[in-house]
Amino acid sequence: MAKRKEGAGREESWAARVIGFTGGGRWLIYLSMALSALSSVCSFLPFVAVYLVVADVIAVYPDFSALDAARMAGFGWMAVAGVAGNIGLYLAALLCAHSAAFDAEYNLKLQIAEHLARMPLGRLEALGTGRVGKVMDESVGAIEGFFAHSLPDMAAAFAAPVAIVVLLFVFDWRFGLAAVACVVSAFGVEAAGFSNKAITDKMQRHLVNQELMTNATVEYVRGMPVVKAFGQTAESFGRLSEAVRAYTDLALDVALFWQSLMPAFTAIINNAYLFVLPVGIALGAGLSGADFRAFALDFIFYLLFVPSIAGALNKMMYISEDSMIISSQLARIDEVLGVPALPAPAPGRALAPERFDVELDHVSFSYEAGGGEGAPLALDDVSLAVPEGTTCAIVGPSGAGKSTIASLVARFWDVSAGAVRIGGVDVRDMEPDALMGCVSLVFQDVHLFRTSMLENIRMARPGATREEVVEAARAAQADAFIRALPQGYDTVYGGEGVHLSGGEAQRVSIARAILADRPVVVLDEATAFSDPENEHLIQKAFERLMAGKTVIMIAHRLSTVVGADQIAVVDGGRVVERGRHGELLAADGAYARMWARYTQALSWGIGSDAPNGKEMV
């Protein structure tokens, strides 16, 4: 598991970090917040209009025929203008915010995708595809939602109380004070909730629980075929239902914690007039004549106005919750972005090899991150020199470190000690793309992309013409089966019933490598046997790929390596023997023993008389 917050040295507030994701779109966010705040201020214009109406009416009360109809119409327009301003500005704010938010989402996803390809391969495997998918989908989505909705609403929510306070104090500070008392007590109730440590802990746990439940579901669904095969659906269902119940319990716990505070908040903000009423009674009792008229105007205005506090404050309710969610999502993004990338050479210091021999110079390597003293070594002081244009086969038992050697040449990891050099240049001193420009890789588990077969091969050299792709496919013995697909080279892999066998997929991968035509080839022979015909064709494809190249081949079948220029026998992370087939047989060491076992395995068979069968356990 990746350590949390690894590499996140600077302590920035989450808000600043989130804003950082917008890049050039930052000004759009600020503009959107300003527009939103302005919109919120406009929303009070109708109340001012109503105040002016009430003022005029009270001035002539009860002789309404004295009212100036034109002035009244003016106030009506004012109310409409307020409404239009409120909504129009908010619309503009939303559009600015979304434009920036969608850009931020796009950039952040590409940034994460790039980072995934720049970190040691095993760190990505430790993160897990599921988790990465969730970060890309949910966490980045939450950031987008935050820009698009939360930030503008936040600006509006802060502008509204300011406008209210200004408005209230402009007309009569005593009523203003009463209204502020209402706001303060409403916030007091909310703060009482958020300052409760137990509940904030629970809310965090709730988010964790949600992830646990998702993982349980993924496993339940993915494992269903196996679980059914072993008749264990009940047990598997038990595990999932436990996770689902735990989620419900905690979710209800969190929700019901607020069951008194939320309604109290609602009750207070919707009864703001109860704060104004006693003040009015106290102030109005002794007044008469013009004084009373002035008082009545203020009193009525405040009674009309204070309900709007409810609308303005409701939005604030969600802000603390939003910020809590966003900071936990940020932490999840950090788990990915915080994994240190393989260091790139300083600009201008990058070197490019001029010859293409491959050398491992006293290489040690441990898969454990940090690689402390006690960490088990996957490779222990391995030295190997593969002269340009020759083939070196690497053999040994599984877990011996064969594939690790291949991964280090491709710099999927960095060595813990020693160096891997191509043409005398340390792979760490090469630009990642320059390194990949001189190495072709063919793995045993091939990944084909959900795109046409043509593009699947062409990705090795984006500028290649269709003819060149077909030529490479032909050389890799892949042309015939690709042509047999429903749309030939334009068939999209993974579409309706388009699937390839392992051997066919490997030939596509070889076609890629042939098209790329790099001087160094690292290839991992498949462990599993393909069908006889596939096998034969793959071997022919290998021949084309390897001609004239510096080849490092991870071999699983010893017959394959008989003719190699050099065979390195790896065991327990060390090179225990090295030489040509004949020399190694003559030496009668580890290789000779492997060869004997291999020839014995070849004669094994399955039959009902079970020639090799022993007693059942």
Q: Which of residues 196-235 bind other proteins (CB under 8 A)?
A: 213-215, 217-235
Does the footprint of other proteins cover residue 466 (CB under 8 A)? no
Determine how many CB atoms are found less than 10 A away from the CB of residue 588: 9
Partners of 363 in beta bridges = 382
Among 16, 195, 588, 603, binds other proteins (CB under 8 A): 603
Does the footprint of other proteins cover residue 587 (CB under 8 A)? no
Does the footprint of other proteins cover residue 315 (CB under 8 A)? no
Judged by CB under 8 A, which stretch of 23-31, 169-177, 356-364, 591-599 contacts other proteins? 591-599
Does the footprint of other proteins cover residue 31 (CB under 8 A)? no
Among 259, 343, 373, 374, binds other proteins (CB under 8 A): 259
Size of the site for other proteins (CB under 8 A): 208
Among 162, 252, 480, 587, binds other proteins (CB under 8 A): 252
| Cross-sheet strand order for the sheet of 520-524 | 439-442, 520-524, 550-554, 391-395, 566-571, 574-579
C-alpha–C-alpha distance, residues 411 and 426, integer Å: 10
Does the footprint of other proteins cover residue 146 (CB under 8 A)? no
Contact 432/470 with Cβ under 8 angstroms? Answer: no
C-alpha–C-alpha distance, residues 75 and 49, integer Å: 5
Here's the x/- map for other proteins, 282-311, by CB under 8 A: it reads as --xx------xx--x--xx--xx--xx--x
Provide the minimum distance between the beta carbon of 507 and other proteins in the complex, in angstroms, as a whole number. Answer: 11
Cβ closer to other proteins: 228 or 362? 228
- C-alpha distances (whole Å) from 349 to each of 416, 421, 429 are 22, 16, 7
Provide the minimum distance between the beta carbon of 474 and other proteins in the complex, in angstroms, as a whole number. Answer: 16
Instruction: Write out the binding residues for other proteins, residues 102-121 only, by CB under 8 A.
Output: 102-103, 105-106, 109-111, 113-118, 121
Does the footprint of other proteins cover residue 343 (CB under 8 A)? no
Judged by CB under 8 A, which stretch of 12-20, 416-424, 472-480, 561-569 contacts other proteins? 561-569
Judged by CB under 8 A, which stretch of 4-12, 346-354, 377-385, 456-464 contacts other proteins? 456-464
**Given the DSSP bridges, would you call strands 550-554 and 391-395 parallel, antiparallel or unpaired?**
parallel
| Exposure string for 470-496, b = 16+ CB within 10 A, e = fewer | bbbbbbbbbbebbeebeeebebbbeee
C-alpha–C-alpha distance, residues 356 and 388, integer Å: 5
Amino acid at 583: E
DSSP label at 274?
H
Among 29, 38, 41, 94, binds other proteins (CB under 8 A): 94
Contact 405/394 with Cβ under 8 angstroms? Answer: yes
Cβ closer to other proteins: 130 or 418? 130
Q: What angle do CA 265, 268, 274 make, to 5 degrees?
A: 175
Provide the minimum distance between the beta carbon of 460 and other proteins in the complex, in angstroms, as a whole number. Answer: 5
Query: Which residues, other chains included, contact 70 with Cβ-Cβ below 8 Å and sequence gap of 6+?
Result: none
Judged by CB under 8 A, which stretch of 12-20, 156-164, 253-261, 421-429 contacts other proteins? 253-261
Cβ closer to other proteins: 362 or 527? 527
Contact 520/442 with Cβ under 8 angstroms? Answer: no
Judged by CB under 8 A, which stretch of 6-14, 23-31, 357-365, 604-612 contacts other proteins? 604-612
